[in-house]
Structure 1
Amino acid sequence: MYEKIRAYVREHGMLEEQDTVIAGISGGADSVCLLCVLLMLKREYGLRLFAIHVNHGLRGEEADADEAFVEELCRRENVPLDVVRVDVARLAREEGLSGEEAGRLARRRAFEEAASRHGAGKIALAHHRNDNAETVLLHLARGTGLRGLGGIRPVTGRYIRPLLAVSREEIEQFLAEKNRTYCMDSTNSEDTYTRNRIRNHIIPYMEEAVNTKVVDHVCETARQMSLLWDYMDRQRAQAAKEAVRFLPGKSGRALEIDGDAYRRTDPAVRPYLLSWALEQTCGRAKDLETVHLEQVDALFGRQVGRRSALPCGMTARRTYAGVQLQDADFEEPDGPGADRVRMRVLEASGIRGPLEASIPKTPYTKWFDYDIIKDSVIIRTYRPGDYITVSRSGGTKKLNRYFIDEKIPAGRRGQILLAADGNHIMWVIGYRQGCGYEVTAQTERILEITVEEPGM
């Protein structure tokens, strides 16, 4: 089994020499197997390995026992461990999420914080082939497109999933051969969550009554759908490059889809272009359905000025050029020259050659890691509380102090345009780019901001 995982890791480029890896360890069979495999890969790749355990605070003494088990396991294997305790029930109430969603959010936050703390470029998760089949069936039952049919991806940004190459049965056999113990989560046998019902009833029934290799067949279909999605997403990215223009503003998000370019786009690609545009404007994909894509598509054939209300407080409006999408917080930009700033999102996978070598050297165009951005990127002038990251180690400086250190006249400071993520300044336009959003080899999406050159 190890050789199968090792080959899978190489196939998908999950690890590089001297990588620092954070491993999510719950104490269950899957995560114990993941830790064992990473310890074996550590010798081959020279990895720096850290573990993190998230106690959700939902199962009382059983959860505490899992935590103690993971602490002893990591102590025995000499793997540094971070333990994070989260009140997931409270988080679900505060964020308006289901228990499953809140648990995923808590884990993701903990993993990201641990990666930042340890300077890790990779976060390893213990999903396996059965998890993948369950995910595809769940998406199919709830309604999905190509992306959802692709299931769980082997690599998503810095997240890697080495065990997707193997099944739950193979994992348990591996642990038995290695004489490894693990924890049993009693909630896995309950039918509280939809995924558990698929795991405990639907897949076993399909294996017994339809085909014993149902998990393998579903995973193979997911692999093919994932390849097809990648192709369609490349077509979508090209269409977006030609058709979409991000609009600067004092606050909020807005973009415009050029009508002529949209009509030149293949009809098969248009839904993906619209879905992406809505997600960029809303900031999330949740609550966006096919009917909303149809609403926006219909606007291209209607009179200028016609509007359509969309989820997340968004509005679509027919303009002379095409259709403008904006969220509820969007305001026109302030400051002189703000209308000369243009923004677009690029897919790193579409950049030829080494990514970092492709970064523009011109002072009028800057690239930023789009997935690091926490808020809406707006073009504005100085506000109290603004700060900029001035070193790769994370050191920051108040923007007012930066202006003073650079000897920028006080009367000029209120006229300088800033690209801002909340109060975090990404770029003091015309002066310096902050260090907090740099494009790296792990970057998946790039925000390109361009300012028209003087005299244009």
Structure 2
Amino acid sequence: MMYQRVREYIRRYHMLDKEDRVIVGVSGGADSICLLFMLMKLKEELNLDVLAVHVHHGLRGEDADADAEYVRRICDEWGVGLRTFREDVRKLAGQSGLSLEEAGRDIRREIFLKVRGELGSGKIALAHHQNDNAETLIWNLCRGCGIRGLGGIAPVTGPWIRPLLYLKREEIESYLKNRGISYCTDETNLEDDYTRNRIRWHVIPYLEEQVNRQTVSHMSETMEQMRVLGEYIRQEVARYGAGCIRYEEDRAVLDKERFLQTPEALRPSVIHEMLCHAAGRRKDLETEHTRMLMELLDRQVGRQIHLPYGMCARRCYEGIELSAAGERPQSVGADGDAVCGAEDGTKEYPAVCRVFGRTGNRVIFPENPYTKWFDYDIIKNTVKIRHREPGDYITITKDGRTQKLKQYFINEKIPARQRDKIWLAADGKHIMWIVGYRQNQKYQITEKTRRILEIEFYGGQSDGGKYKGIDSGEGCCCKN
């Protein structure tokens, strides 16, 4: 019986204890309605305090209104407390440069945590299931991932619990149908607009039909094994990292001699954890950045590289010094490599630019988050790679709404000490790109674009060849 399976899964991962408060995300779809039903049954056994939270994203008009009303009715019928929030996800996506899917996920997370904070405690229950996990695994593999990504969605992450992760989507829908429990269907989940939807409706069905009917179950079992292995590796990485990395107020120092005593298989993970610790986040810190740091260990003292979020890594006598940001680079050495603190006083230039004509109607944008394309023909001034200056502003919406750069930093909660160290691509005072954060809406490629400016930050060819021939001084990039 499904309820017994869910109860056992909750017990196995210690998701709930007696008299726990549980905040349940309820969209009205089959997964969340099933989750709420299960928790209401479990409430009687554990004396749980259950509160439902519904987020209206303001995207689907009357359909979204109907979902919200359905959730209200079902909560009234089952005697569940409910809090409903209405948000403008489209507006948030436009302001932050996120997709609608990403913006919606961020808003829901913020709201769940807000409610938990107001209550003072509580577990946050989400309705992810096996199919969601299989989609996540495929998506992670396609984008490139490490051990953490191979573990998929975890049953428990801090206050977040996922009691249905052991079930398949068809099991959930069949369970509700057999008990006469209705649910809402979000038609946008049936469309191919999102990558996850294409994986859901095309990739997984193909694997199940043409490879193995138990594809989703086998993926789930593998991810569970990878999570166990990943936890062991995490502990070992922390142990070896503690022995070779010294964290100070505004920098981290890697001792090369001690680092080389770390098993080779763990070294990239030790480096990656140092990067994430220094940046205070994991997003956009990729294998390429780890590789760049490891290669820096074999370079001469004084060499430096620039990394996402304004970080700078410098080869020092001890090993590597990773700081929030290095001094402002002015030029490149003769070999195109990064030079910092050398006798000739040269430093690495942080970007490479090129202009090329558009060919054909279809544009395939670069996947590297530190390579961006801009409409070259609308640029008014010489593009400069620099740090912020008084009067800087950025266009944040397609209809032309602008925002002062200072206000953008405040809204994004970027610490004041970091703001002068963030790289910018600027057309006069008009900021085209806040590197590592946001691209200007005005300079986006459109059907009218004839010439494209490409700016590539942080890296290039392993021999530094892409840095050759860049002007020194204020950062004259192009557009004379």
TM-score normalised according to structure 1 size: 0.70
Q: 2:280 matched to 1:279?
A: no
Once the two structures are superposed, what CA deviation does each residue of 1:129-184 show, in whole Å capped at 9, x if it has no partner? 11111111111112111111111100011100000011111111211222111001
In the alignment, which residue of structure 2 is the partner of 1:110? 111
Question: 1:80: how far off?
Answer: 1.2
Once the two structures are superposed, what CA deviation does each residue of 1:91-134 show, in whole Å capped at 9, x if it has no partner? 11111111111111011001100111122331000000111111
In the alignment, which residue of structure 1 is the partner of 2:34? 33
**2:310 aligned to 313, 320, 342, which one?**
313
TM-score normalised according to structure 2 size: 0.67
Q: 2:322 matched to 1:325?
A: yes
Q: 2:277 matched to 1:288?
A: no
Code of the residue aligned with 1:248 in structure 2: it is E
Residues 1:328 and 1:60: Cα distance change in structure 2 (over 3 Å):
farther
Question: 1:376: how far off?
Answer: 6.8
In the alignment, which residue of structure 2 is the partner of 1:381? none
Code of the residue aligned with 1:140 in structure 2: it is L
Q: 2:269 matched to 1:269?
A: no
Question: 1:321: how far off?
Answer: 2.3
SS where residue 264 of structure 2 aligns? coil
| Distance of 1:48 and 1:118 partners within structure 2 | 11
Whether the 8 Å CA contact 1:53–1:84 is kept in 2: the answer is: yes
SS where residue 26 of structure 1 aligns? coil
In the alignment, which residue of structure 2 is the partner of 1:167? 168
SS where residue 82 of structure 1 aligns? strand
**Aligned positions of 1:145-224 closer than 5 A:** 145-224=146-225
Q: 2:87 matched to 1:86?
A: yes
Code of the residue aligned with 1:34 in structure 2: it is L
Tell me how large the CA RMSD over aligned residues is. Answer: 1.8
Code of the residue aligned with 1:198 in structure 2: it is I
| Distance of 2:273 and 2:254 partners within structure 1 | 11
Whether the 8 Å CA contact 2:253–2:320 is kept in 1: the answer is: yes
In the alignment, which residue of structure 2 is the partner of 1:97? 98
Deviation >6 Å, runs of 4+: 374-378
| Distance of 1:161 and 1:377 partners within structure 2 | 37
Residues 1:243 and 1:149: Cα distance change in structure 2 (over 3 Å):
same
In the alignment, which residue of structure 2 is the partner of 1:72? 73
| Distance of 1:377 and 1:326 partners within structure 2 | 16
Whether the 8 Å CA contact 2:313–2:326 is kept in 1: the answer is: no
| Distance of 2:90 and 2:131 partners within structure 1 | 27
Once the two structures are superposed, what CA deviation does each residue of 1:275-334 show, in whole Å capped at 9, x if it has no partner? 11111122222222222111111222333222111122211012232211122399xxxx
| Distance of 1:48 and 1:171 partners within structure 2 | 23
| Distance of 1:322 and 1:85 partners within structure 2 | 51
**Aligned positions of 1:379-398 closer than 5 A:** none
SS where residue 166 of structure 1 aligns? coil
Whether the 8 Å CA contact 1:314–1:325 is kept in 2: the answer is: yes
Q: 2:299 matched to 1:298?
A: no
Residues 1:227 and 1:220: Cα distance change in structure 2 (over 3 Å):
same
In the alignment, which residue of structure 2 is the partner of 1:257? 254
| Distance of 2:22 and 2:415 partners within structure 1 | 30
Whether the 8 Å CA contact 1:22–1:120 is kept in 2: the answer is: no
SS where residue 320 of structure 2 aligns? strand
In the alignment, which residue of structure 2 is the partner of 1:59? 60
Whether the 8 Å CA contact 1:274–1:296 is kept in 2: the answer is: yes
Question: 1:204: how far off?
Answer: 1.0
Whether the 8 Å CA contact 1:124–1:160 is kept in 2: the answer is: yes
Code of the residue aligned with 2:261 in structure 1: it is R
Whether the 8 Å CA contact 2:299–2:315 is kept in 1: the answer is: yes
SS where residue 71 of structure 2 aligns? helix
Once the two structures are superposed, what CA deviation does each residue of 1:2-28 show, in whole Å capped at 9, x if it has no partner? 111111101001011211110000000
| Distance of 1:229 and 1:51 partners within structure 2 | 33
Code of the residue aligned with 1:145 in structure 2: it is G
Whether the 8 Å CA contact 2:23–2:116 is kept in 1: the answer is: yes
Whether the 8 Å CA contact 1:175–1:181 is kept in 2: the answer is: yes
| Identity rate, percent | 49
SS where residue 317 of structure 2 aligns? coil
SS where residue 253 of structure 2 aligns? strand
Whether the 8 Å CA contact 2:312–2:326 is kept in 1: the answer is: no
Whether the 8 Å CA contact 1:20–1:119 is kept in 2: the answer is: no
Deviates more, 1:24-33 or 1:199-208: 199-208
